[in-house]
Amino acid sequence: MKFYRALSPFKVISFDLDDTLYDNRDTIRNAENHFLDCLRKQALLPDFSNENWYARKQQFAEKHPLIAEDVLAWREQTLQQWLSEYNITQTDVIISGLMAEFIEWRHKIDVPMQTFRVLDVLQQRYPLSIISNGNVIAKRLGLNHFQLSLRGGEQGRAKPHRELFQQTADYFGVKPHEILHVGDNLLTDVQGAITADAQAVWINLSGKGIQAFPEARLLPTLEINNLTELLQL
């Protein structure tokens, strides 16, 4: 555990989900590949590449940055636009099926037992909440520890915007600085929390120091390398 700022008393702990409470890397890659395999089959375009899809998503995000803050809407509307360009019929049916497949695969996540044990203890001490920019529903993973779950683009502006942090403070009747936010991303989680006047725990599983990350524009309150370290606070 390494402190960069003085830790003030806190009353609520909020968590990011992906790559904070579990390793998300294989899951998102498998879900994306399955989604695109289904897309190629249903649209009868076997040569449509993964790179083409990523480029189209990026183009859509550049034109519609607010829509892209909601990762599900971003995916769905990129798909809608792409299918319409190819004059593909029954797009509503195709999109509905593809999104359902993606969400199902997106939840094929093995949450470590350590995560459950840490959350079991923490929920006895503090109200817990989720502030995520992703598309995973915690309860579908058996994570039933949270009194509030907010998703960027759906309930408000995505991190690092301050809106979801303020909503969390309002919901629990606390000041933003009384929220301790835990996340892996130095931009969305750390910078987002600090600029919202909350406190930030950076979970660093990289084995590298913070100086190796150019996105570290603001220092977290503290750095941990394992979720169990939260039990020492």
User: From its phi and psi, is residue 102 left (phi > 0), alpha (psi between -120 and 50) or beta?
Assistant: alpha
User: How long is the chain?
Assistant: 233
Structure-derived torsion over alpha carbons of residues 156, 159, 160, 161, reported in degrees to the nearest 10: 0
> Measured between alpha carbons, how far is 145 from 121 in angstroms, rounded to an integer?
10
> Measured between alpha carbons, how far is 192 from 181 in angstroms, rounded to an integer?
9
**Residue 217's Cα: distance from chain center in Å?**
20
Please report, as a single letter, which amino acid is at residue 49. Answer: S
Q: Does residue 184 have an active-site annotation?
A: no
Provide φ and ψ at 19, rounded to 5°.
65, 15
Q: What is the DSSP letter of 140?
A: G
> CA distances (Å), 132 to each of 3, 63, 89, 115, 192, in order?
24, 23, 34, 17, 11
> Measured between alpha carbons, how far is 20 from 128 in angstroms, rounded to an integer?
14
> Looking at the annotation, which residues are catalytic?
16
